[in-house]
Structure 1
């Protein structure tokens, strides 16, 4: 593959200027190493300045592991998921790989020392339109990297990506700074000899510039498996210009909050009081788990996945219909359902004390008793589905989450997707042995996921007093004509309209036909499409959200869609009573527009 055409001196000067403008935006900021588009989105929403797409581990013909650049599919997925600059790690000096990634639209290249070098280091980096990052260990390597076209440097801490090497990173930063101060202040023979060697191997002007300014002319990032705010602050105090956050953060609980603590510590590294507060908050985060992204990745499962894992999960049919449709979901369940499934009656498993409101969240005791009848334990992976594709099952998904159940997934496409693959169904209700008495289901409610009327009204007051700038955002899933008050509510006696400062994202906007041959199979749209829909409605992904609808069913579709799009569940709540409760209260303020 031929290299890019050699630019003229004028074009080179313009390219250097553009690259310098980009890399300077990373000063006092955090770039996060990621491996998936979901991780990239998490990093973006908590304030990262950029993304570094890490390498892949693959198997060769002899089943030996080797490291390679991320696949083109992954590169495109990440580029489509975020608006941040995206760098991708490639093999050192690999011209074809650099050109290919540049052609894919990446914003920069990181030549990673952990991936085998290919050939000599004569790659014309300055001719590329994107900046290059190079890892260095001392001033000599820094001079050489800059001389050969690197626009940004980072500490090179070995061949293993994201390994915790804080001491090594700190040593590199100290070494480079000490070497700079030496050549800038000393005039003894050994120092002059060293300066001469630097100039002969790179360029006089570059070395003179560093001596004059007592610092490198390009940013240098601290990289070495950084995951703790105090480590980030230390690196900044050692004159790093920014931080590279380790991808290992995604193997912990609450990766978004951990990245946010790195962002804050990097920005406030000189403020000891703020640092103490940031570190204290960081210490409160949960313990490491095998994969913090596992929950996110299992929000949705496909029909083929469920078919393959049917014996390892518990399945619930959660179909539900509006009263005026005159359909009986339980009768339809008996006539045909996924093998082994049981029927979750949304109108039956509810709070019995709220007689004037439909299917309110059941108490922990009622929910636990229902799980015992189903033979479901706290450790079971539960898959919920419905006949709509993505609908009432989301309500039951949220119910499980609100009760603290960790492993619950929605069958994307529901019963229509199962039928599309011609998988077997069965009739009649399955016989289930209740959980053994010593393993009775115990709910562990998460109240933060549930919003009640009092909390909602208080939040509306906060929105009103700040002209919408403060408080949780309210997003309504009802059709636009009911939201604006142009069409009546189907529940007798209820006014249409909406809550003050609420946004409208109809739940029907969340789904799309699985393909042109199966228009009846509705599945959730891709994360980037969902994010665009919410953004177009005016929603800010950096602020918490309350979802609402007519009676708490389709609000859960938005809830699941937002999780699918990468929003942190700690930022979400569902208003259980929804419009059925809000509009029924004579003290509620109703807007129409």
Structure 2
């Protein structure tokens, strides 16, 4: 119905959306299905099948430059049964329109790609597809949620170097800010929201809930099961893993181990079994692994 639609104008292009078709609460429920899982970045169909067989909850199809070729996205969607995510450049709402038309399950507004608009993020409420956005602190996370993000990716390094230090720092920073907020007097929330440059109402909601209003995963430098378990013990709901894990000879075992570590992150005995026999050195970078059934 006309009275229920929202019209947003970008220059001379009007985008009309019906919030009753895909309400924000429904997008949140979709991202909740990923909770407790591991999402793997893949660059080809072979890697996507490895991730699926190893138990990944979803795959991100990306080439780390610009929007992924829609033909590759469609090929992977036809071949795997798990959700498919694809990134867009920050602020590039046309790329998001194209990805939504390909039928991706989630769109990731990703800072590791070349930024299209350094002043404005995408208005995610204009899309039926749930959005994932990155943040390094509570203020950024709440601003992205206000824009319509249904999942937050706490991002560390983006160069696939295997350095987890920045990810740990950002996760600890966000969790500390959540604890500080939860213990505040209500009158202090106004000043706190100004300091972190986030909308007051969503800051107040976060305080009341005692957590972020959406699912949050960690990303950056996660290459071993121990890395994944660390992120979970620090309070994340899951992990994003870069395509560098497919550069190890034991990549199927490694991917499966990361999935199992996310599920058993508080059990050191299980983690011991998962870590045994893994090559903990550098990957060979070829991204090949022959262990895919029915290939």
| TM-score, normalising length: structure 1 | 0.45
1-structure distance, mates of 2:243, 2:203: 35
Give how far 1:227 is off.
1.2
Query: Whole-Å Cα distance in 2 between the matches of residues 287 and 142 of structure 1?
Result: 32
User: Which residue pairs with 2:199 in the alignment?
Assistant: 202
Structure 2 residue aligned with 1:183: 181
State whether residues 17 and 127 of structure 2, in contact with CA within 8 Å, keep that contact through their aligned partners in structure 1. Answer: no
1:5 matched to 2:16? The reply is yes
Find the counterpart in structure 1 of residue 244 from structure 2: 248
CA distance in 2, matches of 1:280, 1:137: 32
Secondary structure of the equivalent of 1:226? coil
Contact between 1:153 and 1:220, CA under 8 Å: does it hold in 2?
Answer: yes
Pair 1:273-2:269 in alignment: yes
Correspondence list, 1:219-258, <5 A: 219-258=215-254
Aligned to 2:45: 37
Q: Which structure is richer in relative contact order (CA contacts within 8 A, separation 6 or more)? A: 2
1:70: Cα distance to partner? Answer: 1.6
Matches within 5 A, 1:379-418: none
- Conserved 8 A contact 1:113-1:156: no
Give the match for residue 90 of structure 1.
88
| Aligned equivalents of 1:165, 1:92: Cα separation in 2 | 24
Q: Which whole-Å CA distance do the structure 2 matches of 1:18 and 1:55 have between them?
A: 29
Would you identify which runs of 4 or more consecutive aligned residues in structure 1 move more than 4 Å?
188-192
| d(CA) in 2 for partners of 1:130, 1:210 | 24
Length-normalised TM-score, structure 2: 0.87
Pairwise CA distance, 1:202: 2.1
Q: Choose from 99, 114, 117 the match for 1:116.
A: 114
| Matched residue, 1:588 | none
How much has 1:82 moved relative to structure 2? 0.8
Pick aligned residue for 1:213 from 185, 209, 214: 209
Q: CA deviation at 1:17?
A: 2.7
Q: CA deviation at 1:43?
A: 0.3
Q: Secondary structure at the match of 1:232?
A: helix
Shift of 1:38: 0.9
SS in 2 for 1:33: strand
* Structure 1 unmatched runs, 5+: 57-66, 297-562, 570-593
Alpha carbons of structure 1 residues 183 and 116: separation in structure 2 relative to 1, 3 Å: same
Matched, 1:47 2:55: yes
Shift of 1:145: 0.5
1:16 aligned partner: 24
User: Structure 2 stretches of 5 or more lacking a match?
Assistant: 1-9
**Does residue 262 of structure 1 match 2:258?**
yes
Deviation at 1:179, TM superposition (A): 0.5
How far apart are 1:196 and its partner, in Å?
Answer: 4.6
CA distance in 1, matches of 2:150, 2:221: 22
1:288 counterpart (266, 283, 288): 283
Distance 1:235 1:15 in 2: 30
Whether the aligned pair in 1 keeps the contact of 2:68 and 2:87 (CA below 8 Å) is yes
For 1:270 and 1:568, locate their aligned partners in 2 and report how far apart those are by CA, in whole Å: 34
Aligned match of 2:143: 144
Partner of 1:342: none
- 1:277-324 Cα distance to aligned partner (Å, 9 max, x none): 2122435x897334141x65xxxxxxxxxxxxxxxxxxxxxxxxxxxx
When residues 290 and 148 of structure 1 are mapped into structure 2, their CA distance, relative to the original with a 3 A threshold, is closer
1:75 aligns with 2:73: yes
Answer with 1 or 2: which has the greater Rg. 1
* Counterparts in 2 of 1:278 and 1:177: CA distance versus 1, 3 Å: same
Maintained 8 Å contact 1:79/1:86: yes
Question: Contact 2:153 / 2:217 at 8 angstroms: preserved in 1?
Answer: yes
Q: Contact 1:232–1:243 (CA<8 Å) still a contact in 2?
A: yes
Q: Distance in 1 between matches of 2:261 and 2:158?
A: 27
